[in-house]
Structure 1
């Protein structure tokens, strides 16, 4: 470990640091470290070195677990059960707020406005100032329906106290009754729901999960409303209506009370009202095949009923305000002058201005939160905390610069410092030198990744890090150079008249046979141009950071197909069936069914997962573990890192896939680790590895430097060169100046974001961009290369 310099962090006493003793979570090796409180600490190190294990898996996880334990048992039952991190001691923890890049939930009713409480403040504003006056704030909520009815209430005062009295009530909400506040109307192709020539017992229903012998189909067949053995085409009009559209009603099936509901409303609630991107792939494919979505004809996609839309402030209704680009909303709010609600207006202005300051001024409040990228989601979550009155909180950030142009990183830095200056502890996992430069304290982990990491390499100030001989210290001032010559294109993909989202009738030729870098500030239109138009061409392979769908049993070995090769090798060496080496079938531990953990349902509390003592977490039976290959059993092989496995399988079909995983910088991940433990950047590199076999393909990569250490960026550039030199075309959407400098051709989108972007502001070589220096990208690239 390099000599630490604590000069930049004066520590009055032991309570001024978060003290970590013996941290062993994931690959951490008995880490002891002090993290200064009320300071901005940046955690550095190569991907897989243990940064997230220390910050998120240890410090943040234990803080959340301890807070959860302060709630009553009744409340705890609705919380996820958290296990204690593998650490000897954690002292002086404060309440921790994680601000990560996870998508903001799979709720079709969640928007940027509702996720940040800005919409709640707008509803309050319109309920006070809107004319005509239509009611309380809930009258402007698209999640609250308007309901009239009557019911029994208990009288609480006077001589009749305790008696029940029937009273009428009316709830005035803002939900559009036609689309139920979703903003979309759906047209369902009934032929995709069922085969009318078949009966229910014959497998007529084509909806995923509705098998002929399944419980859901039995409810239809045994309800008494339809005959399960009659082809649907022979149903009476009433039977067809009951089968498709009948409202919920109680029925008794095999002496069990069940709820019967028509097929259309049933799948509408279970599939169509959820975030489509969050559905399992086969369900999403069915929805896209069977359903046509369009803006609701009654509310015009605003989600709101006529009453909510009728109330206006200065000619603007709440739907208009929510649809504005946030920079325009900020300008409109400055025109609203009402002394009676001055504090509310001031709060709204400050919150909306925060969106602009954080680089999200191009969004609108009605944007579905599920459509935000990981970086956009993290910055949107950050909005909640900027105006908070809480102090002495520990904020934990996971690469907050992800998706940010160099121009926007300065503003992000200012916001991180603002949180610190309010008396909070700010912990940031980051690779960008611009963020490391503002740190009060740096903790560097390594020296390598996976088993080669997990140790503290340096702890101290920035000057000490720069002087240290650590990998991060050596690369802190490293700069990629522009190539002396660039490749010549071998044709082009033509995009003409692109108008998706904010694009302004864009015409551009994307060259083939070279490394093309698409640049521009966040929200300028890069993704709209590339993802919105290139996939329609043949041989285009899109490799992005989206989650990889799969079960809790999915791993890099299963995703890449390596597990099939490994099982075949074990089977051949031992003269048994390959299926024996599957934790999903024959080879599974009888106690945990191959999961490696025992899941216990505590009834009134959440379920608890504990390591299976029978198989010790391997998921395999003792019989399977007796079979070996070159002295290793199947569990030991799956516990190998990719790099270790490449040495173990030095020859054979597994070597090709393992070599590709190493090429994309994933030599440190283990074959059997859960896919959901991979970061967005790791997921993208995993997808790239399994697609690298193609020749003559057009690869589209979306910010492949996300999660990469400075030392790994050069390796990525070498990989991109190899892809191009082997006959492929590579198109990279990227903010990292090293990738820009290394490109053959740059397409710069801008000049700004949202309405202020959507144009091609430069096409040419990196050298030409630096020489021109007129765009924001050109200015930052010139500064980076020192031109």
Structure 2
């Protein structure tokens, strides 16, 4: 019972793996990008634990939970309940803040209800989501949105002519019919010809029952003016429909700080209640760094039972490098790394034990200075009697492991095997890619080229930057460093936002469904379908699983989903097409022994050789291999890519082009990359520079810093303690800046080796 026993794991690229994971220890899973770490840890261990836990609930409850497929594994024994702490952003909406998501705001509300003067009510009244506490004008959002009628309406058209310029208000839609069928208007009359009274009725009538409505008017419906209906449907809540029509909403709606509460979300009565001169909104607008001394200064003995645990929570957030955040920061604006650290803090105070905590690359977004702190938290979670499993590439996290499982030896089909199990010391002596990377010695790159042309960023003021200026050498690789929250990203985004030649290559997913794949993104799927059509005589549309060629049973999805009334939906691979998505006659049409489904199952590396004679396809596939994505299959859905993979996919589309004089900006491009794969990425950057472009990188990885031509360090701390350019120059001279935390860690990393 002291190990989790896994037998016959074949999920994704795993090759019938048998492995034992020690319980109540901290195990780090290492290996090349795409080797199968996540397939074992997340898609097998975590998925099976969550699936089995869900099965203990009633069918009604199961139907409300996330559904997990049974992973491809023969057996898992002694499996604890899993707590997955991933890089997924906390998300939420405008009503969700750092304070509410961490439950800290509940304690803050309690404190103001006990100590604040004058007394205005109990803790619930201090919630901006409570009708009794929220500002009536903005409904607790802190901002008001106004409708631009010139964007919403075409005054030269009638209702019959689609005068309401919004998709869900078209004449044939149910919302549009609420005006056409009301009997209140001449539907052929241009809006510009409406009388003042007609326009008032059309736009501002509050919901009311119609007297003697036409027969086609719904019996129970109320008539409501367009402005009221639009505001209720698309402005007061961040609902599904608002997201669905987001482009149109942004066109029609303008946003500004609420003039009544001045953005503080609460009504005048609640805001009048203060502690030491601060109302509750003033307090939540403080950085965590500043909130701590404020609470420590409060001497009321009766309130210490609230203040002490509150301080403990805030100090924990500070400890993991989030001291620059404010409690009123909206959660949708948090990065994946920030979200993950907030989740970790929540679990640190949990009384539950004997769980398996599964953590995805906790070093992401963290400066080396902060990694020791996140390590402390993961060790604390283990020491409470839990099992901790971490997928990680960072040497400083790997170092704290009780046990290491390395998966490889390569990526994709070349991976999926256990290549090492043991201690950190044993890993350093092993002949694995990870072991070799960890003992490699590092030195600074020899900087060549001239420093004649410069990019000037001047007088930048935003967030914690105050009239900051810096010069960046063109046609070189400049790495921006500094602790999380120091101002690196703000400096680049604000400084470069008005320059047309700038290309930001981030990790955000593109709007893609499970029907889009690598080939569609690279715009070569059409070439391949044309090629198959010409060689086989079948129509081109037959080689699309979104069109004529789709399997009639599953509609080109590859799976059959069965909806069960009071039980969870059940998904299974389509038996007719075997998950290939295509009709039988399409699968039988082969070129040189390959069907179109066989092509989609090939890895990028295999496909490069196959399309040797097709220049366009070959070159675009080759650029994917240059970014280290050679292990991915051509038919892989884009919605399954990690942030790092998505960024490298975007990068591939810029390689081999004839663009020159462009400025490429990358945000932490080493995310998800094994140390052995970093040289592959560096070669891509060199290509861009040799073509006459400038490469700017925000990065925490020490290896990347050693390969920079130029280093710009922002700091010294985060938030108000940051925002200064501490150093700008060749990396080797940063050691001269005593207050630079980057310099301190680079000095540790560098040796006389290279």
Report the TM-score range of the alignment, normalised by the length of the smaller protein. Answer: over 0.9
Residue among 628, 639, 643 paired with 1:665: 628
Residue among 646, 668, 686 paired with 1:721: 686
Equivalent residue number for residue 425 of structure 1: 387
Equivalent residue number for residue 542 of structure 1: 504
Q: Which runs of 5+ in 2 are unaligned?
A: none
Residues 442, 751 of structure 2: 8 Å contact kept: no
Query: Is structure 2 residue 698 aligned with structure 1 residue 733?
Result: yes
Equivalent residue number for residue 110 of structure 1: 96
Aligned CA distance change for structure 1 residues 506 and 451 (closer, same or farther; 3 Å): same
**Residue 682 of structure 1 aligns to a residue in which SS?**
helix
Cα deviation, 1:127-181, whole Å, max 9, x if unaligned, reads 22221111121101111112xxxxxxxxxxxxxxxxxxxxxxxxxxx21111111
Equivalent residue number for residue 452 of structure 1: 414
In 1, Cα distance between the equivalents of 2:66 and 2:435? 39
Cα deviation, 1:320-365, whole Å, max 9, x if unaligned, reads 1110000111111111233333232111011000110011000001
**Residue 632 of structure 2 aligns to a residue in which SS?**
coil
User: Post-superposition shift, 1:224?
Assistant: 4.0
Residues 138, 265 of structure 2: 8 Å contact kept: yes
Equivalent residue number for residue 110 of structure 2: 124
Q: Give aligned pairs, total.
A: 745
User: Post-superposition shift, 1:404?
Assistant: 0.6
Residues 483, 741 of structure 1: 8 Å contact kept: yes
Query: Is structure 2 residue 754 aligned with structure 1 residue 785?
Result: no
Query: Is structure 2 residue 296 aligned with structure 1 residue 328?
Result: no
**Residue 309 of structure 2 aligns to a residue in which SS?**
helix
In 2, Cα distance between the equivalents of 1:518 and 1:632? 47
In 2, Cα distance between the equivalents of 1:620 and 1:259? 49
Residues 182, 303 of structure 1: 8 Å contact kept: yes
Cα deviation, 1:589-625, whole Å, max 9, x if unaligned, reads 2222222222332233443332222222222222322
In 1, Cα distance between the equivalents of 2:652 and 2:236? 35
User: Post-superposition shift, 1:495?
Assistant: 1.6
Mapping of 1:156-555 within 5 angstroms?
A: 174-208=133-167, 210-237=169-196, 239-241=198-200, 243-247=202-206, 262-268=225-231, 271-272=234-235, 283-555=245-517
Equivalent residue number for residue 37 of structure 1: 23
Residue among 645, 657, 666 paired with 1:682: 645
**Residue 536 of structure 1 aligns to a residue in which SS?**
coil
**Root mean square deviation of aligned Cα:** 2.3
**Residue 260 of structure 2 aligns to a residue in which SS?**
coil
Q: Which moved further from structure 2: 604-613 or 667-676?
A: 604-613
Equivalent residue number for residue 7 of structure 1: none
Residues 171, 180 of structure 2: 8 Å contact kept: no
Residue among 720, 731, 734 paired with 1:769: 734
Aligned CA distance change for structure 1 residues 336 and 446 (closer, same or farther; 3 Å): same
User: Post-superposition shift, 1:502?
Assistant: 0.8
Aligned CA distance change for structure 1 residues 613 and 704 (closer, same or farther; 3 Å): same
In 2, Cα distance between the equivalents of 1:506 and 1:190? 40
Query: Is structure 2 residue 36 aligned with structure 1 residue 50?
Result: yes
User: Post-superposition shift, 1:76?
Assistant: 2.2
Q: Which runs of 5+ in 1 are unaligned?
A: 1-14, 147-173
**TM-score where L is the length of structure 1:** 0.90
User: Post-superposition shift, 1:216?
Assistant: 4.0
Cα deviation, 1:25-44, whole Å, max 9, x if unaligned, reads 21111111111111111010
Residues 288, 326 of structure 2: 8 Å contact kept: yes
In 2, Cα distance between the equivalents of 1:358 and 1:277? 34
Cα deviation, 1:616-665, whole Å, max 9, x if unaligned, reads 22222223223223321121211221112212211321112111111111
Q: Which moved further from structure 2: 453-462 or 209-218?
A: 209-218
In 2, Cα distance between the equivalents of 1:468 and 1:535? 47
User: Post-superposition shift, 1:230?
Assistant: 3.7
User: Post-superposition shift, 1:411?
Assistant: 0.8
Q: Which moved further from structure 2: 184-193 or 397-406?
A: 184-193
User: Post-superposition shift, 1:100?
Assistant: 0.9
Residue among 650, 666, 670 paired with 1:705: 670
User: Post-superposition shift, 1:528?
Assistant: 0.4
In 2, Cα distance between the equivalents of 1:442 and 1:277? 43
Q: Which moved further from structure 2: 512-521 or 205-214?
A: 205-214
Q: Which moved further from structure 2: 678-687 or 301-310?
A: 301-310
In 1, Cα distance between the equivalents of 2:254 and 2:281? 24
**Residue 70 of structure 2 aligns to a residue in which SS?**
coil
User: Post-superposition shift, 1:705?
Assistant: 0.4
Residues 201, 213 of structure 1: 8 Å contact kept: no
In 2, Cα distance between the equivalents of 1:655 and 1:355? 49
Equivalent residue number for residue 695 of structure 1: 660
Residues 106, 274 of structure 1: 8 Å contact kept: no
Cα deviation, 1:653-688, whole Å, max 9, x if unaligned, reads 111211111111111111222222111111111111
Equivalent residue number for residue 571 of structure 1: 533
Residues 489, 514 of structure 1: 8 Å contact kept: no
In 2, Cα distance between the equivalents of 1:51 and 1:447? 11
In 2, Cα distance between the equivalents of 1:229 and 1:603? 46
User: Post-superposition shift, 1:185?
Assistant: 1.1
Aligned CA distance change for structure 1 residues 259 and 588 (closer, same or farther; 3 Å): farther
Aligned CA distance change for structure 1 residues 527 and 253 (closer, same or farther; 3 Å): farther
Q: Which moved further from structure 2: 340-349 or 258-267?
A: 258-267
Mapping of 1:506-655 within 5 angstroms?
A: 506-652=468-614, 653-655=616-618
Residue among 61, 72, 94 paired with 1:86: 72
Aligned CA distance change for structure 1 residues 93 and 224 (closer, same or farther; 3 Å): farther
**Residue 592 of structure 1 aligns to a residue in which SS?**
coil
Aligned CA distance change for structure 1 residues 491 and 419 (closer, same or farther; 3 Å): same
Equivalent residue number for residue 144 of structure 1: 130
User: Post-superposition shift, 1:525?
Assistant: 0.2
Q: Which moved further from structure 2: 627-636 or 492-501?
A: 627-636
In 2, Cα distance between the equivalents of 1:68 and 1:110? 27
Aligned CA distance change for structure 1 residues 308 and 610 (closer, same or farther; 3 Å): farther
